[in-house]
């Protein structure tokens, strides 16, 4: 394909660029909601697990396994085609957001957990031996240190979730992938459409990637890093 007809139809690309911008807007919006939601769900799940709240603890564990071990596209199908059978009809947009939160929540919960596990136990013990309660210890001693170690994992999760949005077209959401497939189907401009798709994702993801590295560096040199040996 590339060999016989390398010249790209730039006119075509310019003509349809606006469609990609619109689609990118949608992708970004849904990603933003999904990521914020996933962060909240992850934090709640992690708190439930950490505090070992009786029944909820089991539910959270089941949720995490279910969410991590099924593909997003299946989760979306379930929301989009399965839920209406139970009388719950969701728009493609809602499906996208909920699906992303459902998937991301477990990853975020595990990111929090990694951070918490990385805090040496003696930190907990010295807080307790100063008379602090479990809650005070968790909020003031564990969480601040955990977040610092979790930042790289959070950033990786954010990028992962944005990339996962590429399956949204399966539930008729007019995202980047959807527009691309549309253009290919209508005009057979496969090369142009795919190139624009790649460029769109890069434009969205590269800045996020750079910002992540910058945050990671800041956190690493924030003046405390990890404890342990000298």
Partner 1 sequence: MGDSILKTVGLTKSFDGKNPVLKDIDFSINKGEVVVIIGPSGCGKSTFLRCLSLLENIDSGEILLAGKPIGLDKKDIHKYREKIGMVFQSYDLFPHKTVLQNIILAPVIVQKRKKEEVNREAEKLLERVGLLEKKNVYPRQLSGGQKQRAAIVRSLIMNPEVLLLDEITAALDPEMVREVLQVVLELAKEGMTMIIVTHEMNFAKAVADRVIFLDNGEIAEEETPQEFFECPKTERAKKFLNTFDYETSKI
Q: Which is nearer to partner 1, 71 or 225 (CB)?
A: 225
Q: Which one of residues 120, 163, 199, 202 is an interface residue with partner 1 (CB under 8 A)?
A: 120
Q: For partner 1, what does the binding mask look like between residues 148 and 187, x meaning CB under 8 A? A: x---------------------------------------
- Give the contacts of 8 (CB within 8 A, at least 6 positions apart): 191, 192, 195
Smallest Cα–Cα separation from 23: which of 205, 169, 160? 169
Select from 94, 145, 165, 200 the one that contacts partner 1 (CB under 8 A). 145
Q: Which is nearer to partner 1, 84 or 225 (CB)?
A: 225
Residues 24-63 interacting with partner 1 (rule: CB under 8 A): none
Q: Name the minimum Å distance from CB 25 to partner 1.
A: 38
Q: Report residue 67 as tokens.
A: 């969410």
**Closest distance to partner 1 from the beta carbon of 156 (Å):** 22
Tokens of 48: 């439930």
**What is the phi/psi pair of residue 91, to 5°?**
-70, 165
Question: Scanning the structure block, which residue is given the tokens 């031996």?
Answer: 129
Sign (positive or negative) of CA dihedral 153, 158, 163, 168: positive
Among 90, 132, 174, 215, binds partner 1 (CB under 8 A): 132
How many Cβ atoms sit within 10 Å of the Cβ of residue 78? Answer: 14
User: Residue numbers of the site for partner 1 (CB under 8 A)?
Assistant: 120, 122-123, 125-133, 136, 140-141, 144-145, 148, 223-228, 230
């Amino acid at each position: 394909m590339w060999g016989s007809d390398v010249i790209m139809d730039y006119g075509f690309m310019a003509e349809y660029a606006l469609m990609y911008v619109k689609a990118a807007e949608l992708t970004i919006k849904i990603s933003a909601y999904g990521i914020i939601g996933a962060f909240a769900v992850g934090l709640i799940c992690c708190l439930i697990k950490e505090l070992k709240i009786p029944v909820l603890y089991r539910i959270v564990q089941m949720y995490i396994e279910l969410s991590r071990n099924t593909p997003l596209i299946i989760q979306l199908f379930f929301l989009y085609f399965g839920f209406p059978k139970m009388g719950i009809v969701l728009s493609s947009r809602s499906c996208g957001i909920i699906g992303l939160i459902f998937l991301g929540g477990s990853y975020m919960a595990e990111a929090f957990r990694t951070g918490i596990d990385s805090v040496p136990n003696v930190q907990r013990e010295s807080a307790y031996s100063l008379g602090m309660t479990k809650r005070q210890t968790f909020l003031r001693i564990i969480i601040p240190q955990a977040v610092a170690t979790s930042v790289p994992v959070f950033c990786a999760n954010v990028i992962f979730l944005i990339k996962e949005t590429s399956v949204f077209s399966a539930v008729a959401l007019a995202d980047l992938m959807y527009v691309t497939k549309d253009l290919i189907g209508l005009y057979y401009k496969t090369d142009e459409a795919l190139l624009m798709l790649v460029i769109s994702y890069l434009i969205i993801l590269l800045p996020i990637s750079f910002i992540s590295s910058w945050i990671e560096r800041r956190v690493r040199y924030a003046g405390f890093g990890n404890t342990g040996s000298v």
